[in-house]
Structure 1
């Protein structure tokens, strides 16, 4: 029994050596047709890294020829299977633009979007690929509403939106947390919260975003010069009114009411100061 096993291993090893030898020979010295056939063989046997080396050699030769459509798709698919998701996403996207009538166009469009999603890092890092994935899935949903992949595409789209919402919400909060060190970050925080609310209508962070926007406005007023306070109190009050209107039972309302009361006191004080200064100016003009 052991002899049979050993013989089987020997045969397998010999076949592998032969296969590797044949591959290297075709890779280095084969004709373009032999390299194309070997590339397809490697692709179909799921040896994608070897297939990609051959595709890289034959692409310039087959550019513009009928085989190029198949080669381009296999290059994209090979990169996807090798987890080179950024490269795969780009290649699938190019395929959809270069081969408008291809029977593989719909599949390529979905895989481009999915590859961008897989290429995108966690929410706290550069969102470039995440944004591309969102746009690609939106395009797929609009272009192929009857696709058998539509439910999956909608699921991916929703997941990506949540990922981006969280990222932009955390960016806005980071501006707020660091505003004590740089007062300009109060304005940056308010702007970032406003952008979140405009770009992601119905976001699950809406209540918290409005509250923190108001809180940033409140804190900014207290650290501003008197001459800038009235305008900033007015801006902050808009967020306060928005919070009350949108979330009348908000868990943040008690705290917001206290901050609003503080702003009203500041407004009364500054109004009185402005009135006093105006009276002094008027008296000086009379003299």
Structure 2
């Protein structure tokens, strides 16, 4: 039994060695008819690496012949089969330029796009290849509008566009997780403008509103009014998306707090105007001093009337008292 196995092993080795020797002989030889025939056999058997070497020789020798055309096309097909999509894409693209009237030109242009699709990475990575794939597919659709491959192109483009959409939404989520409120607001706003029918629309709108709320509530007084109003506008615009139980209570509470904050901001502005008028009375000429002191008293009266329960009323009264005293002495 061992002798039989040993004999079969020797026979197999000799067969492989003989085949390799034959292949190397053909590669190094000058018989291009034999090269072409052997390349086709290798290609049909799935020995694409060996077929590539021979097809490249044939194309270099006969670039403007039918054999050269077949060889060049099959170089692209071989690289595609070997999953080297960059090289395959290059050869398919070059094929459409070198053999524009070939019966394979349409398929070559389609395969150029498919290679770009194959090179398109997952959404979390840079999407330059995805943009390229979309451009290649669009070019095919424009050049061959009646092709049987149009439906396939459209489905693939939809899938790629969704990948770009997902990529952009992941950026929105990233800013939100980082608690970079300003960036999250800008990114979500841009996303909603670009993808108004996105399946992520509810989440994106919520992220924009919640971050607008946080940004507004933590702003300095000089920026607070504008940011509170912007946040409330966001709520009004997307409130129809917040009817789901997971959003409704929180967004309603945020909006109520913003409404209260807007009143508080108006109160703080009104108080600050009293102080501003009084400070101007202390830094201006004697002629204008009386005017600003009187303005301080007027502003106090308006404040006290509008906000009788304000926590700032005692401070306002103190300013009023000083202004009143200085006005008497002026």
Normalising by structure 2, we get a TM-score of 0.71
Structure 2: runs of 5+ lacking an equivalent: 282-287, 290-330
Q: Which residue of 1 aligns with 2:129?
A: 129
Q: Which residue of 1 aligns with 2:312?
A: none
Aligned partners of 1:100, 1:187: CA distance in 2, in Å?
51
User: 231, 235, 239: which is aligned to 1:240?
Assistant: 235
Structure 1: runs of 5+ lacking an equivalent: 180-184
CA drift of 1:111 comes to 1.8
Find out whether 1:270 has 2:283 as its counterpart. no
Aligned partners of 2:90, 2:188: CA distance in 1, in Å?
32
Q: Which residue of 1 aligns with 2:216?
A: 221
2:56–2:71 CA contact under 8 A, matched in 1: no
| SS class of match (1:224) | coil
CA drift of 1:12 comes to 7.0
Q: How does 1:76-225 map to 2 (within 5 A)?
A: 76-179=76-179, 185-225=180-220
Shift in alpha-carbon separation, 1:46–1:177, aligned structure 2, 3 A? same
CA drift of 1:212 comes to 0.9
| SS class of match (1:112) | helix
- Residue by residue, what CA displacement relative to the aligned partner does 1:145-194 show, whole Å, maximum 9, x if unpaired? 33222222222222222222222212210111112xxxxx3222223223
Aligned length: 278
Q: Which residue of 2 aligns with 1:260?
A: 255
CA drift of 1:13 comes to 6.0
Aligned partners of 2:99, 2:89: CA distance in 1, in Å?
16
Normalising by structure 1, we get a TM-score of 0.80
Aligned partners of 2:189, 2:124: CA distance in 1, in Å?
19
- For the pair shown, the structure with the greater C-alpha radius of gyration is 2
1:109–1:140 CA contact under 8 A, matched in 2: yes
Shift in alpha-carbon separation, 1:60–1:265, aligned structure 2, 3 A? farther
Structure with more contact order per residue of length (Cα contacts < 8 Å, sep ≥ 6): 1
- Residue by residue, what CA displacement relative to the aligned partner does 1:61-82 show, whole Å, maximum 9, x if unpaired? 5556665543332222111101
